[in-house]
Structure formats: structure tokens, C-alpha cells
Amino acid sequence: MKRLDKDEALSLYSNAPLGELCERAQKARFAHVPGRRVSYQIDRNVNYTNVCLSGCKFCNFHCRPDEPEKAYTLTFEDYLPKIAELRALGGDQLLLQGGLHPRYGIDFYETLFRRLKEVDPDLKLNALGPPEIAHIARLSRMTYREVLVRLRDAGLDTLPGAGAEILADRVRRFLSPAKPSAQQWLDVMREAHALGMSTTATMVYGHIETLAERIDHLLALRALQDDRPAGAPGFRAFICWPMQLTGTALARMAAEGRLPEGISLPGEPRRWLPDEEFLRTIAIARLVLDNVDHIQASWLTVGLPTGLRALSAGADDMGSIMIEENVVSSAGSRHTLDEMPGQTGHDGLPGQDEGFRGQDEGLRGNDYGAGCPEDNPDAGAHTTGKGSLADPAGAHSSLADPAGARNLRAAIISAGFTPWLRDQQYNAR
Ligand code: SF4
């Protein structure tokens, strides 16, 4: 399949009929992942601290160090029941996410990772992300490579692609000016790939960015993946989701007319209903990222029915049955495995499914996926907002229970695919 350039990708993304776009994406999906297998994972998201210097305008999760009534850092003892519960539910991994803490340098994370591995040597640690690595490097006066090597030796297994949002400095300077630049995000990932570390790539869309900036983001990921050393996994998967804006400073600024000149929310007039925008974004990511094997359907943010539709738009992975999720959920996303086929409306948008129905026909007619019939019915990373945590140690957990995996498997089967449980390296468990 010929590689898409920027103009071709932007034209397809913007103009192609949804069914045609999804059909092309499904061809590419089956070239990467033959057969009708759809993978999923059981892990637990643990937000080890909410103290962060960055102050991103889309983030309800963080608080400043001088807010003692809100600030928390988990104690080591807080992790022990979380690990026990994770294991009891069949999980194998902690996704550790927090903020850019003013005092937590390399020693803090080395100690934490070593102690966690002492408790459970087989536990996988999928932790931090490029912003944290860059922050630790600055605090501890180290290179990115030195930080990654020390953390890997302390127990870091894989590096999530968190904090990418949109890799365009126009966007980042406004949304998250204290966060590492687009180039710094890519530089950390380049070092991780050079060390043979497995990572993921993310994109958070639907805020102030343009469609062209979304395509540039995908092209930057593709170019970096091209540069990985021979035999290195690089980005194992790509995950995208719409930004959750409820209660964020960005949403308030927009509502109050306080966005500066040249910045608008959304960045371009909305062309599509949210479900279609998600499916189009999954499909174009599959087509542009021709060197990344796995595309996740981020059902935790878009809802299970839409996540399942993404399996006919190029996605091959349902992500995690996340046992605890505090970040995206605090900015408006609270989808669970209780959502099964036939539900209507997501994100409080009345009539959304009705508006989408005509598009389903185009999907149903292709030869590759199961289609998206109405009787047929995976995150994110750590980077969108959350509010204060009434119970940080326990959080508002339990998006999964012992039935969670069964429900997700049943949903995958109902969409015409074969579920299989994987680890973070996409090996069968
Ligand atoms: S998104 Fe991440 S880096 Fe930005 S303020 Fe929130 S916790 Fe900090």
C-alpha cells in the first residue's frame, strides 16, 4: 500500500465517505494483524501524586504544591492492596501516572519501582511518560537516556506515550506552556526506542488544534517510528481519544470569551458528530501509521458501543479493562462495561446515535469488518484532567470487577471478533 503524504492524508480524513475510509483502514488493519483477533489487557491505573507544576488548561487532576488540602502522594502502603486486588482480578500491570512534582527526581522513582518489584517481581510497570522523563532529567541534571536507563534498571518495563496531546508547539504553548515541547516529547521517545524500550503513542484531539495539526502529529510519530533501530519495537500501539473538557480551565475560558486571538475551541468548525470524528480519526491513524502494528479503540472515553465500532475502522485492540481510572473520568468521561449494545447517546449528546445511523450502512457493507449494526455494539493515558480526590488511596475505582473481562469478551464476540488477553508487549497471556 502506497504511503500517504500529508495532502493525501488530510484529504482522506476530511472528505472521504466514512464507509470508504473505514474499508481502507480495515485492509491495513488486517495486513498488520491478520485474522479476527481483538486483544485486550487487564491493568490498574494508579495516580501516585496529583501535585504538578505544569498547570495544563485541560487538566482538572493536578493541584499546586501549595494546596495542602488537595495535594496527595500515595504512601508505599497504599500500593499493597491495589496490587493484591489487581492480581485477584487477573491483572498483570500497573499504569503509574502522576504529575511534574517539584521535588520528585530520579531517587523517588528508582526507590518506588524497586520496592514495587520486591513486592511482586512479576508485576509489569508501565509508568510515567515523556513529560515526566524530561522533568526528572531537568530536576536531577541528567540526560533523558540516563534517566531511562536508571528507571529501566529499577523496574520500568514500558513507557506510555502520555502527554503528547497534539505535537504542535502552537497548541502546546497555549494549553500547557510548562510542559515539554513537541520536540522534547519526540526526543524522549527516540531515546527510549534506542534503548529497545517498548512504548506507545497517543493523540488527544478535539480542542484548539486544526485537522492539519492532527495529521502533522501522526506524521511526526510515523517518522520517529521509521528511525527506530532495527529490531526495536518502538511504538507498539497508537491510542487516541477526544479531550474531555468538562470543568476545565479551557472550557471556562471559551465559555467566558477569554480565549486569545488566534485560538478557538474547537480549532475548526465541527464537521462531524463525535462518534464519526472518533471513527475517522482511528481510520486515518491506521492508514498514516503504516509502521505501527496496533491501534487501540479507547472505549473508556468514547463508550463501549463506539469503541466496538472502531473495530471496523482499523482498530484491533480494546485497550484495558482499567480497574482504577481517575484522570479522564474527572473531566467528564465515565464509561463502563455496563454500557452494552443498543444504548443511545454518549457524553450527554441527545440523538447522537440517531444521527450516526446512516453512516452505519456504509460500514456494514464492507468485506473486512463485522460492520457496525446497532445490535452490535479500551486509555488513556494519563493526561487529561481530574478533580479533587475524596479518597486518593481508593479513588473512584472499579471500572472493572470479576465480570469485567467477561463482559468485554462478550462484547468483542458480539461485534464479530475473537477476544484474546494480552500483556503490554502484545504477547498472549
Ligand atoms: S495534564 Fe499532566 S502535566 Fe498537565 S497539569 Fe495535568 S498532571 Fe500536570
pLDDT tens digits along 116-138: 999 999 999 999 999 999 999 99
Res 345: pLDDT? 27
pLDDT of residue 269 exceeding 70: yes
Res 387: pLDDT? 29
**Residues 181-211: pLDDT tens digits?**
999 999 999 999 999 999 999 999 999 999 9
Which of 152-156, 326-330, 394-398, 409-413 is modeled with the greatest confidence? 152-156
Q: Which atom of ligand 1 is nearest to the CA of 50?
A: 7
**Residues 294-337: pLDDT tens digits?**
999 988 889 999 999 999 999 999 998 877 655 445 555 556 55
**Residues 72-81: pLDDT tens digits?**
999 999 999 9
Residue tagged 532495527 (cell numbers): 230
Residue tagged 482511528 (cell numbers): 282
Q: What residue's CA is closest to ligand 1, atom 2?
A: 383
The angle formed by the CA atoms of residues 292, 298 and 301, to the nearest 5 degrees, is: 150
Q: Which atom of ligand 1 is nearest to the CA of 131?
A: 3
Percentage of residues of the chain with pLDDT beyond 70: 81
Residue 362 in grid coordinates: 456504509
Q: Quote the DSSP letter at residue 297.
A: -
Sign, Cα dihedral of 111, 114, 116, 118: negative
> Is residue 43 within 8 Å of 296, Cβ to Cβ?
no
> Is residue 294 within 8 Å of 33, Cβ to Cβ?
yes
Confidence class of residue 343 from pLDDT cuts 50, 70 and 90? very low
Residue tagged 457496525 (cell numbers): 372
> Is residue 385 within 8 Å of 248, Cβ to Cβ?
yes
Which string of DSSP letters, residue by residue, matches 337-353? Answer: TT--TT---STT-TTHH
Q: What residue's CA is closest to ligand 1, atom 7?
A: 99
pLDDT of residue 246 exceeding 60: yes
Domain spans in the chain, listed from the N-terminal domain onward: 6-421
Confidence class of residue 87 from pLDDT cuts 50, 70 and 90? very high
Res 321: pLDDT? 83
Confidence class of residue 391 from pLDDT cuts 50, 70 and 90? very low
Mapped onto helix, strand or coil, the DSSP state of residue 213 is: helix
Q: What residue's CA is closest to ligand 1, atom 4?
A: 56
Instruction: Count the neighbouring beta carbons within 10 Å of the beta carbon of residue 190.
Output: 17
Residue 169 neighbours by CB under 8 Å, 6+ apart: 181, 182, 183
**Residues 43-64: pLDDT tens digits?**
999 999 999 999 999 999 999 9
Confidence class of residue 225 from pLDDT cuts 50, 70 and 90? very high
Average pLDDT value for the chain:
84
Pairing state between β 93-97 and 124-127: parallel
The verdict on pTM exceeding 0.95 is no
CA distances from 163 to 7, 15, 50, 178, 190 (A): 26, 29, 15, 12, 15
Ligand 1 center from residue 50 Cα (angstroms) = 9
Res 104: pLDDT? 98
Confidence class of residue 373 from pLDDT cuts 50, 70 and 90? very low
pLDDT of residue 390 exceeding 60: no
Res 377: pLDDT? 24
> What is the mean predicted confidence (pLDDT) over 266-292?
97
Mapped onto helix, strand or coil, the DSSP state of residue 421 is: strand
Q: By mean pLDDT, which of 97-106, 146-155, 365-374 is the weakest?
A: 365-374
Res 409: pLDDT? 92
pLDDT of residue 338 exceeding 90: no
CA distances from 314 to 36, 110, 202, 395 (A): 12, 38, 16, 33
Mapped onto helix, strand or coil, the DSSP state of residue 229 is: coil
Pocket-forming residues, ligand 1, beta carbon under 6 Å:
52, 54-56, 59, 61-62, 99-100, 131, 176, 179, 383
| Fold assignment, 6-421 | TIM Barrel (3.20.20)
Residue tagged 457493507 (cell numbers): 365
Q: Which residue has the higher pLDDT, 288 or 380?
A: 288
Ligand 1 center from residue 131 Cα (angstroms) = 9
